[in-house]
Structure 1
Amino acid sequence: MYKNLLILFVSVVFLACKGESPKDKDLSMVAQNQSAQLELLGDGKLRFLKLSGNPYERGLAHGKALKSEIQEVIHLFKKDIAETTQEDPDAFIAKFLAVTDYKAAVEKWMPESMMELKGISEGSGVDFETIFMHQLGDEYWFNAKDVMAHSCSSFGVNKSAELPSITAQNMDIPEYYHGFQTVLKIDDPDSGKEIMVLTIPGHLGITGMNTKSVSINCNTLMQLDYGKTGLPVTFIVRGVLEKNKQEDALAFIDEITHASGQNYIIGGPEKVYSLECSANQVVEFRPFENSSFTYHTNHPMSNTDFSEPYLMQLESYGKTVEEGLYECQRIKSFQQRFTEQTSDIEIEEIKSVLRARDHEGRDVVSNSNTYASVIYELSEQPKFIIAPGKPHETDYIEIDF
């Protein structure tokens, strides 16, 4: 379905040397066979990186294979921090990590991911604190940026007699990340599954699926309450994808403390769930009772655990919670296409809504912030389908597990 262009094979062997700390020596001893294969797909628009080994080994290979891209992305991220906060970005990162405690939640629920980040840091030559901050996009936006940022759109449909369950999303992120579209394919030998994630170089993943037909899509809900503790979105994505069963992924979402307001569409082989999560609540959303499908953008429709900054903004504009600050146009694109009479939703219909530009404004499904569009077919032979760019301009390709 596509032509692979193999441009790099990385195989690195680390040996212990004099002057290493005991911890560093331990890490280098476990990195004997780590490797990565990097390809360009989709007419060169998509980096596709295959990783294997333990978390540290995968991170180290990731960091080395995408070293220049990671360093460039970090430069752009720091530039954004400086422009947003009017502070030195390194000083801001140090202060941000000092006044928050996300690491404690990561160590509690996703400790192995810290080893993967250490590998990315060492492989890329970017210090660990900055790499950790790079994972905190949503938490950075919640704590330092405009309350109404973001414009993602997601969809999911249950399995039917004729068709498998499917989840899908346009992932919309700041434009300075565009051009770095990357997919990681991770071989997890302990569980016998593979994980595929859309990401940014140096990042653990922003949406993805696995070969056990578990998937996750994300939409920021900046109106909802958040905290300076709890598990950040990036680690929730990877935590869900490490599960072999959808019920375990749902239990994980319910068990953890959430650092940020977020909608997660959790896919499984039979059914999909749309969960609105805040610091204090997890609430399911469906368009109507017994709906076989669901969709979401960036406006809470079930969860009422609003943040104080959002309530203050409403008050300043003389708006009620029911009115909101503005009306989302993207949600109308889904509502118009998928109603109580809709049945047997096929991939081409999902592609159609993900390409939608239903009016002249900026608040359209395929918009200037759309980094990539993904469709996950959760069948016995799962399919990862991606348009590495705005789907009204970029063709979809299928990447094999």
Structure 2
Amino acid sequence: MNTNKTFRLVLILLLVIISFQCRNHPKQLSKKTALANGKLTFVELSGTPYGQGFKHGELLSNRIQELIEAIKTDTEDNYKVDADSIIQAFMAYQNFESSIKKFTPNLWDEIRGVADGSNIAFNDIYWLNLYEEYSKYLDNNIIPATDAGQHCTSFGVDKTDANPSMAGQNMDISEYWHPFLTLFKTTDQDRSQLYHISYPGIVGGGPGINKDGISINVNCLDMLKCDSIGLPYACVVRGALQKKTYKEALNFIETIPHATGHNYLLGGKEKVANLECSSSQVKEFRPFNGATFTYNANVPHVNNDFTNRAIDYANRYNVTPDSLRRWLISRKRTPVIKTTFNESTEDFDKERIINLFRYKEEGGSGDICKPNTNVSVLFILSDEPKMLIAPDEPDTEPYIEFGF
């Protein structure tokens, strides 16, 4: 009798523990859906970092391999080198593993999961996740045959009495990337959730937002220094989105060592921060004292940590790097932004920001919306944050809304 009672009590206790774990630790689930007539692949993942990576790799294995081959083809066409040889040289140059394991160890596990799930060699998946660093390595060592075509434009505004904080961008990228556009929604074991725009096999390829109202937008800053150490771009993006508060995310970006020159537009429920990051500096930009908004169009405004290539280019035309920077700012998309949003602007509603992202002037250098615009996104950082995404040129493709 006592033995039976003891057995029943143990059994009940085990059932309670199992029930508690099921409620607090979601199963590793996955789902893949095609949206916008196939222009956007939507992938939902949950579970451990390794588990999410494994399902990511398993679901998108063929597309990952196709993307790897597309990048290699572009390398050979644009840089006139053997892709495998230059990739081998880059992988010998880079030394990012220690930074990834120190600052974002869960992403190292996720990358391992992608490799195992896709049945693709880990080094190939690791290199794919270092694409931004690889691209900068190519540009700093080999003169490309053509312009890479990355002309992203980002804009953000602090919370006002009339509107919540908002941040967004047009993400312009070489057109061979466009068919691979993927939106991931992830749910971690602690129930935290986020959306991030990326590409098959890459754990952090573009802008994103989390359930706590933290968002991030990204622009390349090719004039700024890179390093063979530091935290890679993909891990900076996802690392910031893993923070629970704006202050934590801001501190993360300001204190980590950066592997590449990038502009990170960080959004929170009260304000936004526009951070120009290089391998040795992080500088915040606002267009004027007291400005409640900020922007970037691929040129640094306040960070002077220039690459040797930028310095050499300026010397070739007998100008300073700062003069070159100011000339680039004056002729690209920045004048369009300054015309739309300036000291006299009082209205910052979402339609006005979206209209900026839709702006075209018949192929002019001020175009915000371009043929190589792969995706346009606007994050609404209210108490119930949401994302608007147009998976193509936003003047023709409607925005789709995602919430939590």
Q: Please, what TM-score do these two structures have when normalized by structure 2?
A: 0.87
Q: Distance in 2 between matches of 1:159 and 1:104?
A: 38
Asked whether 1:393 is paired with 2:396, we answer yes
Asked whether 1:157 is paired with 2:157, we answer yes
| Match for residue 133 of structure 1 among 97, 103, 127 | 127
Asked whether 1:380 is paired with 2:379, we answer no
Asked whether 1:311 is paired with 2:314, we answer no
| Match for residue 119 of structure 1 among 109, 113, 116 | 113
Cα deviation code 1:134-171 (max 9, x no counterpart) = 12222122111259752110000111112110000111
Asked whether 1:274 is paired with 2:274, we answer yes
- Report what 1:332 is aligned to: 335
- Report what 2:350 is aligned to: 347
Cα deviation code 1:57-104 (max 9, x no counterpart) = 001111111122111111101112233444432332222111110122
- Report what 2:22 is aligned to: none
In 1, are the aligned partners of 2:332 and 2:365 still within 8 Å (CA)?
no
Q: Please, what TM-score do these two structures have when normalized by structure 1?
A: 0.88
Q: Which runs of 4+ in 1 moved over 6 A?
A: none
Farther off after superposition, 124-133 or 46-55: 124-133
- For the residue of structure 2 that corresponds to 1:217, the secondary structure is strand
Q: How does 1:1-400 map to 2 (within 5 A)?
A: 33-145=27-139, 149=148, 150-190=150-190, 192-205=191-204, 206-324=206-324, 326=328, 327-361=330-364, 364-400=367-403
CA 1:302–1:359: 2 relative to 1, 3 Å:
farther
Question: Normalized per residue, which structure has more helix?
Answer: 2
Query: Which amino acid in structure 2 is aligned with residue 383 of structure 1?
Result: K
Q: Distance in 1 between matches of 2:393 and 2:287?
A: 26
In 2, are the aligned partners of 1:261 and 1:279 still within 8 Å (CA)?
yes
In 1, are the aligned partners of 2:331 and 2:365 still within 8 Å (CA)?
no
Farther off after superposition, 87-96 or 352-361: 87-96
Query: Which amino acid in structure 1 is aligned with residue 252 of structure 2?
Result: F
Aligned length: 369
How far did 1:363 drift?
5.1
Q: Distance in 2 between matches of 1:383 and 1:33?
A: 25
- Larger radius of gyration between Structure 1 and Structure 2: 2
Q: Percent identity among equivalent residues?
A: 38
Query: Which amino acid in structure 1 is aligned with residue 376 of structure 2?
Result: S
Q: Distance in 2 between matches of 1:122 and 1:211?
A: 29
Q: Distance in 2 between matches of 1:75 and 1:33?
A: 33
Cα deviation code 1:244-299 (max 9, x no counterpart) = 00100111111111111111110000000001111111111001111111111111
In 1, are the aligned partners of 2:357 and 2:369 still within 8 Å (CA)?
yes
Structure 1 residue runs without a partner (length 5+): 1-31
Q: Distance in 1 between matches of 2:119 and 2:30?
A: 17
Q: Distance in 2 between matches of 1:142 and 1:263?
A: 14
Q: Distance in 2 between matches of 1:400 and 1:323?
A: 43
Structure 2 residue runs without a partner (length 5+): 1-25
Q: Distance in 2 between matches of 1:393 and 1:319?
A: 41
- Report what 2:15 is aligned to: none
Aligned-CA RMSD value: 1.7
Cα deviation code 1:207-264 (max 9, x no counterpart) = 1010100011011111011111111111100000000001001111111111111111
Q: Distance in 2 between matches of 1:142 and 1:317?
A: 23
Q: Distance in 2 between matches of 1:34 and 1:258?
A: 32
How far did 1:123 drift?
1.7
In 2, are the aligned partners of 1:299 and 1:328 still within 8 Å (CA)?
no
- For the residue of structure 2 that corresponds to 1:323, the secondary structure is helix
In 2, are the aligned partners of 1:102 and 1:232 still within 8 Å (CA)?
yes
In 2, are the aligned partners of 1:93 and 1:130 still within 8 Å (CA)?
no
